[in-house]
Structure 1
Amino acid sequence: MEDSEMRRQHDELRQEAADWFAIMRGPEAEARRVEFEAWLACNPAHRRFYNRIAETFSHGKLLKGTENERAANDLQADQKTLLLAPAKKWLGAGCIVATVLALGGASLYFQALPTVSKPPADLAHSASTPSNGARTFVTAPNEVKLFQLADGSKLTLDAGSLVEVDLGASSRTLHLVRGHARFDVAHEKRPFVVRAGNGSITARGTIFDVTITRERTVMVHLLRGAVDVSSDFQGRHAKKASVRLAPGQQFGFAAEQGPTPDEKPTRSSIASQWTDGLREYESVRVADLLAEANRHAKIPLQIASSEIGNIRISGMFRVTDPEGLARNVADLLGLGLASSPHARVLVRSCHDYGEVNCRPPS
Structure 2
Amino acid sequence: MTTSEPSPRQARQALRWVIRCSAGPLPERQQHALQRWLRADPRHALAWRQQQAFWQGLDAAGPDVLAALPELTADHAGLRPIAPRRRLPWLLASAAAVVLMVAAAPQALLLARSDLRSGAAPRVVQLEDGSTAILDAGTALALDFGGQQRRLRLLRGQAWFQVAHEQRPFQVEAAGGQVRDIGTAFSVSMQDTTVTTQVSEGVVEVRPGDGSVQRLHAGQARAFRDGRWLWPVQQAEPQAMAPWRRGEVAIDDVPAAQAIADLARYRRAPVWVLGGQGARVRVSGLFHLQQPETGIDAVATQAGLRVQRLPGGAMLVW
**Number of aligned pairs?**
212
Say if 1:296 and 1:319, in contact at 8 Å, map to a contact too: yes
Q: Does 1:228 align with 2:205?
A: yes
Say if 2:260 and 2:299, in contact at 8 Å, map to a contact too: no
Q: Does 1:299 align with 2:277?
A: no
Aligned-residue offset at 1:159: 2.3
Measure, in 2, the Cα distance between the counterparts of 1:267 and 1:195: 23
Aligned-residue offset at 1:259: 3.6
1:53-103 alpha-carbon deviations (Å, 9 max, x no partner): xxxxxxxxxxxxxxxxxxxxxxxxxxxxxxxxxxxxxxxxxxxxxxxxxxx
Q: Which has the higher helix share?
A: 2
Measure, in 2, the Cα distance between the counterparts of 1:202 and 1:124: 26
Q: Does 1:344 align with 2:312?
A: no
Aligned-residue offset at 1:320: 4.5
2:118 to 139, 155, 158: 139
Aligned-residue offset at 1:266: 3.3
Aligned to 2:256: 286
Q: Secondary structure at the match of 2:183?
A: coil
Measure, in 2, the Cα distance between the counterparts of 1:212 and 1:159: 13
Say if 1:250 and 1:267, in contact at 8 Å, map to a contact too: yes
Aligned to 1:258: 227
Unaligned runs of 5+ in 1: 1-115, 234-238, 348-362
Aligned-residue offset at 1:186: 1.6
Say if 2:188 and 2:196, in contact at 8 Å, map to a contact too: yes
Measure, in 2, the Cα distance between the counterparts of 1:271 and 1:209: 8
Measure, in 2, the Cα distance between the counterparts of 1:283 and 1:325: 15
Q: Does 1:212 align with 2:185?
A: no
Q: Secondary structure at the match of 1:338?
A: strand
Q: Name which one, 1 or 2, has greater alpha-carbon Rg.
A: 2
Q: Does 1:162 align with 2:133?
A: no
Task: Mark the CA change 1:305 to 1:247 in structure 2 (over 3 Å): closer, same or farther.
Answer: farther
Relative contact order, CA 8 A, sep 6+: which one is greater?
1
Measure, in 2, the Cα distance between the counterparts of 1:224 and 1:287: 32
Say if 1:337 and 1:344, in contact at 8 Å, map to a contact too: yes
Say if 1:208 and 1:222, in contact at 8 Å, map to a contact too: yes
Measure, in 1, the Cα distance between the counterparts of 2:265 and 2:123: 14
Aligned-residue offset at 1:308: 4.7
- Cα RMSD of the aligned pairs, angstroms, is 3.5
Aligned to 1:324: 294
Measure, in 2, the Cα distance between the counterparts of 1:229 and 1:250: 10
Aligned-residue offset at 1:223: 2.4
Taking structure 1 as the reference length, the TM-score comes to 0.49
Task: Mark the CA change 1:334 to 1:178 in structure 2 (over 3 Å): closer, same or farther.
Answer: closer
Percent sequence identity is 28
Say if 2:273 and 2:316, in contact at 8 Å, map to a contact too: yes
Taking structure 2 as the reference length, the TM-score comes to 0.55
Aligned-residue offset at 1:296: 2.6
Say if 2:251 and 2:283, in contact at 8 Å, map to a contact too: no
Q: Secondary structure at the match of 1:296?
A: coil
Aligned to 1:245: 216
2:163 to 170, 185, 199: 185
Task: Mark the CA change 1:225 to 1:198 in structure 2 (over 3 Å): closer, same or farther.
Answer: same
Aligned-residue offset at 1:228: 1.0
Task: Mark the CA change 1:207 to 1:179 in structure 2 (over 3 Å): closer, same or farther.
Answer: same
Aligned-residue offset at 1:155: 0.8
Task: Mark the CA change 1:220 to 1:121 in structure 2 (over 3 Å): closer, same or farther.
Answer: farther
Q: Which AA in structure 2 matches 1:218? A: V
Q: Secondary structure at the match of 1:121?
A: helix
Q: Which AA in structure 1 matches 2:233? A: P
